[in-house]
Chain A
Amino acid sequence: MVLSFARRLAAVGPILLVVSLLLFVALRLLPVDPAAMSMPPTATKVEIEAARSAMGLDRPLVEQYAIWLGQTLHGDFGTSIHMRRPVGGLLLETLPATIELSVAAMIVAGLLGIGGGLALFALRNRRGEAVAELTTTLMMSIPEFLWALLFIFLFGVLLSALPFTGRLDPGMTRPVVSGFLLLDALLVGRPDIYASALRHLLLPAAALGIAFAPPVMRVLRTSLVDVYQEDYIRQARLRGVGEARILLAHALKNAILPTLTLMGVQFGFLFGGSLLVEVIYAYPGMGNLMVDAVRNADLPIIQAVALTYCVVVLAITSAVDALVLLLNPRLRA
């Protein structure tokens, strides 16, 4: 397993290369002309050709790819055609926001999922089981954007309890240290900004998290049921170990392993799912950046954002693998 983990890490490079190639080719096949779009409508053909040449779009595709790859490897993602700013800077601004949202959502999903899984397990073979099953099925069939709209309606409009646009109250200025708003608010010592940021994060994170919690619940419940069939649980009971201790110190430690693996896979989907939620909540993250870029056929941004998604997902999967490795001594042999 240590070996397979190392192998997987070694595969990250080739995977990124393949993704970048697919991305590049796919975007170049689109019938859009970034050079023409970057020019004012009054521009002449000659001017557009000049722009095309300046962007390097008249060179062979292979060469274009090589140039782009070389620059990307050096951290230069090019310049946005539409916004005329370096893409790297745009990423630095938006990526922390999206990570903040995704991590918050994952925490919601984890708490709900593990709590719900334990509740489902406690209800097994009881009268409440059918109701609980129905509830999780219902939760599972509602997609994250619907949760987002429901929450806006319920907590934002009806109860007016929580804000549902942006990251901060109007009038507050964002302190910029690391880009992670919650962290920065603490670093500059502004509890009011921290509170506001947290309130703004709550609804989008809940909408995203609640959509991903039901599978975690189900898997945890099933793993717990399986683990309770194992000899070591019976043996612990025969030693007189109490039920609470059996659940927390014996069963959960084993049942959490498949649950963690699932959560790792889910994080990738969740990170992708943040896109829609960001748009709904006007949350200035990578999702909004991407949507604007697609609308404007801003190829450098699209490429950079897509690659960033890929890197983050790979990083998360590797981190979860490492965590499972750490928690499961059998895999470390």
Chain B
Amino acid sequence: MSVLRAEGLIVPARIGPLTVPALRDLNLALAPGKVLGLVGESGAGKSMVGRAIAQMLPPGFTVSGRGLHFAGQDLLTMPATERRALLGRQIAFIPQEPLSALNPVRTIGSQFGEHLRRVGVADWRAAAVAALQSVHLPDPAGLLDRYPHQLSGGMCQRVLIAMAFASKPALVVADEPTTALDVTIQARIIRVMRELQQLHDTAVLFITHDLRLAAEVCDEIAVLYAGGVVEHGPAEVVLNEPLHPYTKCLLLSAPEIHGPRRGLYTLPEQMPGLRALADIPGCRFAPRCPLARESCRNAPALLVLKDAHRVACPYPGEVPGISAGPALAAPEGQAGAVLVEARDLGKTFRTGTPFRRRAVAAVQGVNFTLHEGEFLGVVGESGSGKSTLARLLMGLERPTSGEIRLAGRDVSRWDGAARRTRLQTAQMVFQDPQSALNPRRRVASIVTQALEAAGLPAATREAKAAEILADLGMPAELGSRFPNQLSGGQRQRVNIGRALCLVPKLLVADEIVSGLDVSVQAQLLALLARLRAEHRFALLLISHDLAVVRYLCERVMVMQRGVVVEQGRTEDVFANPQHPYTKELLAAVPKG
């Protein structure tokens, strides 16, 4: 008897005159006490499954199919009031963004109390305290009087997990519950979820983009691509012996933190959007698949292989043959001259009221050098001072102590000379291209922004724009588009391309691949590697993702609470970490 059983579930979406299935023919069964992972990149339809269960779909989307059974009742035919009665009681949801999923103007207690009273708990205060204790939150009674903004993201997520499990539901749907959190917090949240899930024998639908995380958390995994399951089986098997080319490519396109260094598989293009799906006959992955052939124009059925391992591809035997390229070679030749030198660099922010001044040391006593052409990664959790360090280098903040030398000049003070040195030497790529690119400018004008002051003729700028776009691997006609007409990956390319317009000696990149799908991330990392070989610039790469740093950077610097706790050659640091914090960071990365 399964808690949740989907039979031929379809979610058609109406886009203009077209009706395209955002989810098609989904068959799943989830037994009590089991964890099923739904894995896929954005647009795969994985969140649509959770939304179909609650029947809270975006406008234009409907849900149909042979049945979506929860504990013997069909959620599809059930009256809305009955379905709503199940929500929060029998079916609970854990959200993606814990900080925004709690009402900011109501206390934790008031929201917890509302929920517990609704599910019929008489002494809600005691029950809430017990629930908060079960997720290992300190001082649960005091927590009830606090507001969400007074808590960290990890704490909010624990509150939401406690809330979800408070009614002892039969099914919990967790939609990317740790994506917004740091990796060490992620490890703790997963542990808490697992504990409660095992304690109450709850069935969990775990939705994530991270195949390795899914393999660590789940019993079974279903990989989704463009609205359909392409591979489904026991977690171990799917991770270690994937038999669908997409699963294999997905695994190969994500850099790893353990094992030998290897290259990344770069899938071309990106997952087709809903509108494009209508035009793809047969296998939806075929346009990007390395194994595609003529017969793929007919839709493949989900083949049952062994041990309930099912694959929607007629050529599973060829999948193990797909391989990523060789590991990125370290650049040849001698390390160049010293480009950046930071000595005892510090930045203290002053906040608070005149009565209660507080000084926050965002960066403290940082020493490092960066040579010409060298790639240096900076890792650490949010609040560790990584971004402040980048802003200090770029002159967006002024150091409160210490010294920065850029290309041999002291740029710690803010004067005209320091400004000129910076402009000639360094460029920065910001994290979010959506807000970093002026939405009112065309791409060609954005990427040549650095030429603006020179007052060159329009033709020169156009020629340069075409050159940069070619460099970025983008067709020249995209130059006349606006940023919001591009995909997320293309926008980030433009963001990088703009910084490279005058080919700086130093590129400072702040989390430029976070929030992107792994296949897009692989494309960007490949782009950076290629641009490096062509232009020879140094890179300071800030990332919370250790695997990305390991893939791209020769040296790494680990920061914690504003202090560099460890630095050295990436291979040495990751293979043999000395500082306990580095060890903790490495241990928290899901191994699968």
Contact = CB atoms under 8 A, between A and B. Distances in A.
Contacts of B233: none
Interface string A245-262: 100011001100100000
Contact of A2 (B54, B101, B102, B353): B353
Contacts of B160: 235
B406 interface: no
B147 A235 contact: no
Nearest to B85: A240
Nearest to B149: A330
A238 B87 contact: yes
Interface string A321-333: 0000001111001
Most buried by B among A235, A254, A328: A235
Interface in B97-118: 97, 100-107, 114-115, 118
Contact of B87 (A2, A231, A239, A328): A239
Nearest to B353: A3
B101 A235 contact: yes
B163 interface: yes
Given A238-B93, A239-B92, A240-B118, A232 B100 contact: yes
Interface residues of A, number: 25
A3 B355 CA distance: 10
B92 A232 contact: no
A234 interface: yes
A236 interface: yes
Among B95, B102, B105, B163: residue with most chain A CB under 10 A: B105
A333 B149 CA distance: 9
Nearest to B352: A3
Interface in B108-159: 114-115, 118, 147, 149-150
Interface string A97-128: 00000000000000000000000000000000
Contacts of A2: 353
Given A239-B92, A329-B147, A333-B150, A253 B103 contact: yes
Contacts of A249: 106, 114
Contacts of A230: 100
A328 B105 CA distance: 6
A234 to B, nearest CB: 7
Interface in B506-562: none
B493 interface: no
Contacts of A254: 103-105
Nearest to B147: A329
Given A238-B88, A240-B86, A242-B84, A330 B100 contact: no
A232 B85 contact: no
Nearest to B355: A3
A329 B95 contact: no
A241 interface: yes
Contacts of B101: 231-232, 234-235
Given A2-B353, A330-B147, A250 B103 contact: yes
A226 to B, nearest CB: 13
A237 B85 contact: no
Contacts of A333: 149-150
B5 interface: no
A65 B223 CA distance: 81
Contact of A239 (B106, B115, B353, B354): B115
Given A232-B104, A250-B103, A329-B104, A241 B118 contact: yes
Which of B95, B101, B150, B160 is most buried by chain A, counting CB atoms within 10 A of its CB?
A: B101
A240 B105 contact: no
Given A2-B353, A232-B104, A239 B147 contact: no
Nearest to A243: B84
A240 B87 contact: yes
B88 A240 contact: yes
A327 B103 contact: no
B89 interface: yes
Interface in A1-40: 2-3
Contact of A231 (B85, B88, B97, B353): B97
B56 interface: yes
B103 A236 contact: yes
A7 to B, nearest CB: 10
A64 B289 CA distance: 89
Contacts of A231: 95-97, 100-101
Contacts of A235: 93, 95, 101-102, 160
Interface in A193-244: 230-232, 234-242
A330 B106 CA distance: 10
A-B complex: 8 closest residue pairs judged by Cβ atoms: A240-B87, A240-B88, A239-B88, A238-B93, A231-B100, A235-B101, A329-B147, A232-B103
23 contacts: A3-B353, A231-B95, A231-B96, A231-B100, A231-B101, A234-B95, A235-B93, A235-B95, A235-B160, A237-B54, A238-B87, A239-B87, A239-B88, A239-B115, A239-B163, A240-B118, A241-B114, A241-B115, A254-B104, A254-B105, A329-B104, A329-B107, A330-B105
Given A240-B85, A242-B84, A249-B106, 7 more contacts: A2-B353, A231-B96, A238-B88, A240-B86, A241-B114, A257-B105, A330-B147
